[in-house]
Structure 1
């Protein structure tokens, strides 16, 4: 698929590149999020030294770095990959050579997976710092340090105690695609398929790109997610094995959350892990983008914290693959996919549609019609009249003291007045003196009665067609 999205990130990179002078950009984000693709797209047509560090020894990384430097001649002309190249005696000499090349011309120098290099030789960051300080005032070097270990990049590269602190000129944390960016990648598919596939794979571009528009949703699930030889089938387990030291414990935690446990204490009990250790495990999963905390966006009691799966592929895998593992491994993927699509997929996609609606409100195209949103999320709490738990799918706080309250319905038929009445009632529960704007989202449109009453109440109706995803 063609490169799409990342417009803001590319604008930042190109703006700094065109400024001239020394620049050091730190790019980081979870594995598979598209960091290398972003850098490669930016570097097209520019004299570039691209070095991808390895989880190996210092010597092997120095050899690979020397070969990468030799791939660019002094005039900026690439040389053949099989051309013999000398190996620098040290990282200091290698970095000095790159800075020397960049005295008279603009050169992009990429160190991909920088944490691997720094871990193979703990002095690398200090050496790089000294070389930069000695040459940056006369250098045209555009250096990019990229890494997937977010804790390492944030603390050992961007952190105050890092030798490289203060040398960076910009940092970019690459986030998963929003639904709008996913729609660009899946252009030509129906809005329903885009939302559903986004719900199954999430915003990781590589996951999204497994979609085959010539096949039905059932076929895509069977062949691209459930088949044991497919990339997506093995990805959750491979991801945990690569990123974590105790994958079995993290696996138990994810399974507990996937089964509906949200409180830290309950997750710990179900996973069989001491509660005192659970916070650290959850923090690790949060840093990887697999788990996130949720709190009611409006509530005096901010201790109402829930943990939910933030990665949609993990959510799908732990919900369905483990449940149907025996028939899947027996090759009955078409039957399992049919069962999932027929009996479970609409319910599974409902919470995803809520997130899609929240994203649309923040990034919506007709921004002039709405106030600026400062914070958005969900709300849950007690209905004081009915003495039961109540929820709102969307609550947004805006800069003009407006509160937007919304409900999202992923159902086959049009939404009727009963949903509108429930939204109006629940919005009154969270009313705290702010002006309120009601908005109702629907996959399948609205009844005529609902449209009439919504107009009378000033409630905005948004169908999936209105969202402009397809």
Structure 2
């Protein structure tokens, strides 16, 4: 199912329209929808798609040769003895293509596992064989660190040769409804808090009616597709998965200060900074600072959170209870999930409310705010004003007490800008008293729907 990806598809189509050789790099985590995007792009276009697998180089070369020969309807090429990618691309370069030919090499990073010289080989292919051809070469991969190192980093032989690069991210919450047109907003928030915006995961829950049964079937069952997914992703990206696992489990349990995380690992802060940096590079965690900080990069108030909701769910409920899951005791783990699921969703709900506010208000930035004594779920900073908000994912209607509390906490914000608006978000609606006050005071906004 193709959902959103409007900007990415437009970028690829703009490359296609150029009357010259184009070279694109497309990368992103597994299951995020790279191949689906490429399939949409090549519709009604001349294209060759090749998926690299971890086999011996001669087998990979032969498969690529056969695909090219079939596309060209060239029996001579099919029988030709080929022993390098240079030979295949030299053969291609001797052809003329009136319409731009798209050549996609998917899971490109596996080629360098097979042959470490591949980046240099493709440098030669691009510089000497393809640069005058009407071809759009796309190298695509799912191991983020390897793709960056091999194609985009300064040390790569391919550095500076790309004409475009796309790091494909998870789909934003506002587009999740396109997967589940019949589900309520609350159901969509629940699904997003578990599956993030990863299309493959979302499709697996498409027909779900009972979210807990779907969790049991698709995540907790040791034979299920998602049972060990984070482990598989990390083991492909990092060399010491145990340390990364421990860091992520510690954050999932509620430790967000760098010093406390290091303490849980019995390490000095200096000994885990490289691991933290790597997890941030992979978009699995992020550093959050109060939105009003003047210099966020140097702020000492930074807290670390798991960005990927599926990783956060898995490290909260799957890894800690692996022993029970291995013994097929999924009911025990389901009970643990049900006991704290609302708290798990609350963090996601705040993220969604911040996204909503950024989209619908004229702000420079928006995020969380805190000091030693108080915290506010959402503060938006405009050119000469502030917007402050609270997000309540509970079964209780939000009343005037929440509004009054927000007003009091807002007095501690160090940016001395006037507060233009007080925004309240609620899963369960608002009391009649608060609704009446909001109708009389335009500075109070009660958000009914965030989609």
What's the TM-score, normalizing by structure 1? 0.87
Structure 2 CA distance, aligned partners of 1:337 and 1:447?
A: 33
Rounded Cα–Cα distance in structure 1 between residues aligned with 2:187 and 2:67:
42
Shift of residue 351 of structure 1?
0.6
Secondary structure of 2:154's counterpart equals coil
Structure 2 runs not aligned, ≥5 long: none
Equivalent position to 1:112, from 106, 113, 123: 106
1:446 maps onto 2:426 in alignment: no
The 2-side partners of 1:36 and 1:156 are apart by 20
Q: 2:390 aligns with which of 407, 421, 440?
A: 407
How big is the shift at 1:332?
4.0
C-alpha distance in structure 2 between counterparts of 1:273 and 1:95, whole Å: 51
Paired residues of 2:393 and 2:427 also in contact (CA < 8 A):
yes
C-alpha contact (below 8 Å) 1:103/1:138 kept by paired residues? no
Of 158, 163, 187, which residue of structure 2 is paired with 1:164? Answer: 158
Aligned position for 1:379: 369
C-alpha distance in structure 1 between counterparts of 2:188 and 2:220, whole Å: 19
> Which among 359, 365, 372 is matched to residue 355 of structure 2?
359
Contact 2:317–2:336, Cα closer than 8 Å, also in 1:
no
Contact 1:381/1:391, CA 8 A, preserved across alignment: yes
Is 1:458 aligned to 2:448, yes or no?
Answer: no
Could you tell me how far apart the structure 2 residues matched to 1:251 and 1:34 are?
A: 25
Query: Cα distance, 1:199 vs. partner?
Result: 0.4
Inter-partner Cα distance in structure 2 for 1:274 and 1:143: 46
Residues 281-329 of structure 1: CA deviation (Å, up to 9, x unaligned): 1122222222211111113682111111112122112222244445434
Q: Distance in 2 between matches of 1:31 and 1:410?
A: 30
- The alpha carbon displacement at 1:180 in A equals 1.1
CA distance in 2, matches of 1:447, 1:281: 47
Does structure 2 retain, via aligned residues, the 8 Å contact 1:95–1:128?
Answer: no
Partner of 2:309: 312
Q: 1:42 to 1:248 in 2, by over 3 A?
A: same
- Measured in 2, the distance between the counterparts of 1:90 and 1:159 equals 25
Comparing 199-208 with 267-276, greater Cα deviation is found at 267-276
Shift of 1:457: 5.7
1:189 touches 1:213 (CA, 8 Å); kept in 2?
A: no
- Secondary structure of 1:261's counterpart equals coil
Count of residues in Structure 1 that have an aligned counterpart in Structure 2: 445
* Match of residue 33 from structure 1: 32
Q: Structure 1: where are the runs of 5+ without partners?
A: 365-369, 383-388
CA–CA distance in structure 1, aligned partners of residues 433 and 111 of structure 2: 64
What's 1:213 paired with? 207
**Cα distance in structure 2, aligned partners of 1:181 and 1:67:** 39
Contact 2:392 2:426 in 1 (8 A): yes
**Distance change (3 Å), C-alpha of 1:433 and 1:189:** same
Q: Distance in 2 between matches of 1:169 and 1:49?
A: 19
- Structure 1 distance, partners of 2:87, 2:322, is 54
User: Does residue 337 of structure 2 align to residue 340 of structure 1?
Assistant: yes
2-structure distance, mates of 1:162, 1:237? 28
What does 1:319-334 correspond to in 2, within 5 Å?
319-334=316-331
**CA 1:256–1:97 in structure 2 vs 1: closer, same or farther (change >3 Å)?**
same
Runs of 4+ that moved beyond 6 A: none
Cα pair distance change 1:450/1:99, threshold 3 Å: farther
Distance 2:327 2:384 in 1: 57
CA contact under 8 A between 2:143 and 2:236: conserved in structure 1? no
Asked if structure 2 preserves the Cα contact closer than 8 Å seen for 1:9 and 1:172, the reply is yes
Is contact 1:67–1:87 with CA below 8 Å preserved after alignment? no
Aligned to 1:386: none
Mapped to 1, the partners of 2:86 and 2:321 lie a distance apart of 54
Q: Report what 1:367 is aligned to.
A: none
Partner SS for 2:328 = coil
Report the Cα distance in structure 1 between the residues aligned to 2:121 and 2:325, rounded to whole angstroms.
Answer: 52
Give the 3 Å change call, closer, same or farther, for CA 265–135 of structure 1 in structure 2: same
Match of 2:408 among 422, 425, 432: 425
TM-score by length of 2: 0.91
Q: RMSD over aligned Cα, in angstroms? A: 2.4
Q: CA deviation at 1:162?
A: 3.0
1:71 and 1:433 map into 2 onto residues whose CA distance is 68
* Aligned CA distance change for structure 1 residues 453 and 102 (closer, same or farther; 3 Å): farther
Q: 1:38-187 counterparts in 2 under 5 A?
A: 38-73=37-72, 86-101=80-95, 103-136=97-130, 138-187=132-181
